[in-house]
Structure formats: structure tokens, C-alpha cells
Structure 1
């Protein structure tokens, strides 16, 4: 997958690092949300809003839809806070809710027939217009091809490579064993290689 990213700039990774003290603080924060503390929910919103939108955007490829889903994640946090026991990190729990929202959205769109030509992933600004156009084309292609994968394979790739989560956290967020995450990533990469070869991109498919 690292080689596939070489054709275009990766979107910024938003890594949220936590330690034992933060874990305790996060558990207290969610307990406050469960008790109806809207300020505590605002703190979670401010902390996770940008990484959530970046994560969801890679599924939906439409910024407005990503913002709507991120808002639904916050509603989910508000409603589910009482069930949070601190067994996983706050990051894992939040992205687990986001994962479910993204997968539900993808499945619904596929049932309805997802149109081609959805808004492509955002590309970093570049000084060279030709280089920018080339990178945008490759980024758009990768976004389109990843969109053909199953919802579970997409989520495994997004959480592992773009959110930079350890496999154990990805497994917690997706609600499956680590080996299942590894299997989904493996088949996702194989499918991407075949699709890249079909597109004539031999260097990335090698």
C-alpha cells in the first residue's frame, strides 16, 4: 500500500496519541457526557472533528456528506456515552462509531446505485501546476479504485494506513479479530493491484 501512495500525496494523518493519564481523563470526560454535560461533548467534538472528517471523506468523497456523518458520530457519542467503559481508548471508540456510520452509508449507496464521478479526494496545493494535475489524477484514481472495495476492506485500509492506527485498535474499532483485519488488508491490496494493472499502472501494481 505504501507503494500505491507514491503516485500522489497522502492526505495528512491525524494521529491522536494517548497515555494512561489521558485514558483516565477520557473516561471521566465520557462519563460527563453521559451525565448530560454538553461542554464535555464539545471538547470531544473539538478534539476529533478534523480527523473524523478526514477519515470519512475517504469513504464518501464529498465534504458535505463527511461533515453530516461526523455530526452523526457526535450524536452517537451523546447517545452511547453511558455504555462506554474505558476498555478501549476514546480514539478507538469514536472511530468505531465512525466506522459503523461509514459502512452503513456505503452499503446504502450501493443498494441505491452509487454514481460514478463523485467528488474526488482533496489534494495538497503544489507550486507546479503540471505536478499538481498529475498528482490529482493519481489521487483521484486511487480514491475511485478504493471505492470499489468492500466496505470492510475500505475501513481496514483507512484506519490502518490513513489514520495510522495499530492493528489492535483497528480490530477494536471494527469489532473483529486482528487476523480478520490482516486478511481484509491483504485482499484489499490484492484487489487494488489487479485494478491498477487493469488501468495500465504497472509500476504501482508491481
Structure 2
């Protein structure tokens, strides 16, 4: 019985240690060739990276393949991470590049996001302030009518909770441009929602 308790305590300590390890620490270990840290980083971020890619490519098999490529790149290039942004932002920047490359190869220049809200995501979104039972179709339709650049900003800020600075790094545009796009994206989305009888959306 004491042996079982000791094993359980050790297991809990191991889980606590893994949770206490920051992404930056994991990446430093990965740069040194630590496969356990690579597994931990993958477990921590693969779902969000998958959802991010899926929204762009709209194909599950392609998204899964690109996720594998993203983390293979992380394993190969961990030493190049300079810590100027969060590790999660760095991961999404790699994911975005690979998704855009895949889309170019498929010659899909305009990313249609008609079914974006069908993808499960626990993050707060504009829909959180609306009656989900009657507005999911309306919001989906309105988001689809935004330009690709404005849709991308909406997704990064609301679905992935990225700051203006992080979005600028991901997309490769100045922070002032991010703010401008966000302003017009929100304004246009609010106008579209109002036409459908929805007067409010999340701030």
C-alpha cells in the first residue's frame, strides 16, 4: 500500500513539474534534443494549432498533415527561437505560413470561412454575447462576408486571443494596421449583424 501511495505521489509530482514548465523552457530543452519536452509541447499546443490551420484550409486531412509539419519544424529549428514573442505565437506563425503555402498550391486565393463556427473552440468569440440558439447561422454568414484580411484579424483576436502586437508579428503588418483592420472589421461585422436584427456583439 505504501508503494502504491509513493508511486501516485511521484506521478502527481511529475504532472505538476510538467505543468510548471514554461513553453520557453520546453523550447530550450527541445533545442538541446530533449524528446520528452517535444512531446509535452506538442500535447500542450497541437489542438489549437490544428484548429487554426483547419479554419484556413478547411480540410481535416490536410490540417493534420500540416500540424505534423509544424512540429517537425519546431524540432528542427528550436534553436532559432529568439523569445521576441510567445512560443504559442511563434507556433501559429509557422502554421500560418504552411497553411497559406498549401492554399496557394490548391490555388484557393480567397479563403471561404462559411463553416468556421462548426469547429469547436473554447475561447471567447463574438458569438459569446449573442443567443447561440438563433444566431450561429447569422454570425457565420456575416463573418463569411468580411474580406479575407478582416476575417483573419477577427479569428486571431477572438478565437486565438492574440494581442495587437502578436497579430502584427503573425501577419507581418504594423500594429497600427492591425488596429485599423480590427476597427473596420468590427464595424462591418456589427453593421451586417444589425441588418439581420442582431443589435449587439462582444466588445
Q: TM-score, with normalisation over the residues of structure 1? A: 0.63
Counterpart for residue 98 of structure 2: 101
Supply the distance in 2 between the matched residues of 1:201 and 1:110 (Cα, whole angstroms). Answer: 33
Within-5 A mapping of 1:10-29: 25-29=22-26
Unaligned runs of 5+ in 1: 1-20, 125-133
Within-5 A mapping of 1:18-97: 25-97=22-94
The Cα of 1:63 is off from its aligned counterpart by 3.9
SS in 2 for 1:203: coil
Unaligned runs of 5+ in 2: 1-19, 122-130
Counterpart for residue 168 of structure 1: 165
Supply the distance in 2 between the matched residues of 1:136 and 1:62 (Cα, whole angstroms). Answer: 26
Supply the distance in 1 between the matched residues of 2:136 and 2:103 (Cα, whole angstroms). Answer: 20
Counterpart for residue 203 of structure 1: 198
Tell me how large the CA RMSD over aligned residues is: 3.6
SS in 2 for 1:58: helix
Counterpart for residue 126 of structure 2: none
**What are the Cα deviations for residues 147-173 of structure 1, in whole angstroms up to 9, with x where unaligned?**
454443333211211112222222223
Q: Is the 8 A contact 1:123 1:136 kept in 2?
A: no
SS in 2 for 1:160: helix
Q: Return the index of the structure with the highest Cα Rg.
A: 2
Supply the distance in 1 between the matched residues of 2:149 and 2:88 (Cα, whole angstroms). Answer: 19
Q: Is the 8 A contact 1:59 1:154 kept in 2?
A: no
Question: Per chain length, whose mean CA-contact separation is higher, i.e. which structure has more relative contact order (CA < 8 Å, sep 6+)?
Answer: 1
**What are the Cα deviations for residues 127-166 of structure 1, in whole angstroms up to 9, with x where unaligned?**
xxxxxxx947743453454345444333321121111222
Q: Is the 8 A contact 2:56 2:113 kept in 1?
A: no
Supply the distance in 1 between the matched residues of 2:199 and 2:27 (Cα, whole angstroms). Answer: 43
Counterpart for residue 5 of structure 1: none
Supply the distance in 2 between the matched residues of 1:123 and 1:144 (Cα, whole angstroms). Answer: 17
